[in-house]
Amino acid sequence: MNVVVTEDLTKIYNAGMKKGGITALDGLSLAIGQPEIFGLLGPNGAGKTTLLKVLLGITRISAGSATIVGLPPDNPASRRKVGYLPENHRFPPHLSGLGLLEFTGRLYGLRRNVIDSRAGSLLDMVDMDKWANTKITKYSKGMQQRIGLAQAMMSDPEILFLDEPTDGVDPVGKTEIRKVLQKIRDEGKSILLNSHLLSEVESVADRVGILSRGKLIKTGSVDELTSRESQFEIEAEFGNKLFEIPAEVGKKISLSMNRLIVELKDEKQVNWIIDHLRLKKINIRAVKPIKISLEQSFIETVTEREVDQS
Ligand SMILES: Nc1ncnc2c1ncn2[C@@H]1O[C@H](COP(=O)(O)OP(=O)(O)O)[C@@H](O)[C@H]1O
Ligand SMILES: [Mg+2]
């Protein structure tokens, strides 16, 4: 089941203006399943926040369509299924963590006993039970984000929209947030995570979409976006034994004392390499596919695109 579906979703701000407005989303088609953490990655200005605003019905769609659990964003019932943690939010400073959750529960019109039990289990989930009665202003940035995640979960949503949730959070705090996100996913919920930080998305997302100038230019699992299936690194005791790789198998990229990098015509050809090395009595220590970082994949994707367009 898909919790969010968009088809050719387009958002043009100030479309009526003389210059034709600003195209923030440009024919975006996307489906987010359940449960999954979908990381939407893109530089500032790519359109990430606009997507959330459109899905939440805060700003209107210019063309195309969107649904949340089957309902269009202009149907208020669609919002009942969504939890939202905005970018640079500020909670009422006089509240404690528990106070914030109770306040949120009352806004949703939940019953007292539901508020109490949900607040209790969410404080536990985000590991903030010890700080429940401390004022939010005393919290670190990471703690504020964790209590923010708990408040976004108070309505028991099907999907959470998180806009740059680890901005300004220190590395330890980031790891803690990541653990909470995984717990939420393990409870069967989905998360749409907006971030301009590659490492962030790479470490937690099941699937990643790369957004550039309002266009979704690539989607896939982190593995799919970062593996180079045809390149392998082979660690072995080559010594001074020379050997050639036939052109139909592939080509040698580099060979040092005990490290060979090959680019193969087909990944099955790795068997040819292994058989050949064993035949030559070369002791093999490891064979591994070469991965590129998501950052490199992102840069290559954007660069390819710029080349394509010229
Ligand atoms: N309310 C608005 N009015 C006009 N233009 C806007 C508005 N909000 C965002 N934009 C423009 O839309 C583009 C996408 O912005 P945004 O969705 O905030 O990107 P991101 O969240 O990826 O940084 C940018 O060019 C931004 O300047
Ligand atoms: Mg943004």
- Domain count across the chain: 2
Q: ∠ CA 193-199-204 to the nearest 5 degrees?
A: 50
Is the pTM of the predicted complex or chain greater than 0.85? Answer: no
Whether 308 is in a domain gets the answer: no
Identify the CATH number of the domain in which residue 171 sits: 3.40.50.300
Would you say 216 and 210 are in contact if contact means Cβ atoms under 8 Å apart?
Answer: yes
Helices 97-107 & 141-152 angle (0-180, nearest 10) = 30
pLDDT at 113 over 90: yes
Helix axes 171-186, 112-125, angle to 10 degrees: 130
H or E element: which one contains 116? helix 112-125
pLDDT of residue 234: 92
Model pLDDT for residues 250-288, shown as the tens digit of each residue: 998 888 878 999 988 888 899 999 999 999 899 999 998
User: Where do the DSSP E strands lie in the chain?
Assistant: 2-13, 22-33, 37-41, 63-68, 82-85, 159-163, 190-195, 207-212, 215-221, 227-236, 250-255, 259-264, 284-291
196 CA from centroid of ligand 2 (Å): 8
Q: What's the confidence (pLDDT) of residue 203? A: 87
Residue 242 lies in a domain: yes
In DSSP notation, 153-217 reads TTT--SEEEEESTTTT--HHHHHHHHHHHHHHHHTT-EEEEEES-HHHHHHH-SEEEEEETTEEE
Atom of ligand 1 nearest to the CA of 163: 21
**Ligand 1, CB cutoff 6 Å, lining residues:** 13-14, 22, 24, 42, 44-50
> In the structure encoding, which two tokens stand for residue 271, read together?
């068997």
Q: Are residues 27 and 112 in the same domain?
A: yes
**164 and 229 inside one domain:** no
Where residue 310 falls among pLDDT bands split at 50, 70, 90?
very low
Q: d(Cα 62, Cα 54) in Å, to the nearest integer? A: 10
Sign of the dihedral through C-alpha 224, 212, 158, 205? positive
What tokens appear for 151 in the block? 């408040």
The answer to whether residue 245 is domain-embedded is yes
pLDDT tens track for 22-55: 999 999 999 999 999 999 998 889 999 999 999 9
Rounded Cα gap, residues 261 and 233, in angstroms? 5
- Ligand 1 atom closest to the Cα of residue 22 is 5
Nearest residue (by CA) to ligand 1, atom 8, is: 50
Give the pLDDT confidence of 158-202 residue by residue, as tens digits: 999 999 999 889 999 999 999 999 999 999 999 999 998 888 888
Domain C-terminal end among 182, 213, 244: 213
Question: How far apart, in whole angstroms, are the C-alpha atoms of residue 146 and residue 181?
Answer: 10
Residues 128 and 192 in one domain: yes
Residue type, 201: V
- Tell me how far the alpha carbon of residue 284 lies from the centroid of ligand 2, in angstroms: 48
CA 125, 129, 135, 136: dihedral to nearest 10 degrees? Answer: -20
Residue 38: is it exposed, middle or buried by C-beta count within 10 angstroms (0-12/13-18/19+)? buried
SS3 call for 219: strand
Q: Domain for residue 218, yes or no?
A: no
Centroid of ligand 2 to alpha carbon of 11 (angstroms): 15
What are the residues whose beta carbons fall under 8 Å from the beta carbon of 224, sequence distance 6 or more? none
- Residue 305 included in any domain: no
The domain in which residue 276 lies consists of: 225-291
Say yes or no: 143 and 39 in one domain.
yes
- CA 236 to ligand 2 center in whole angstroms: 48
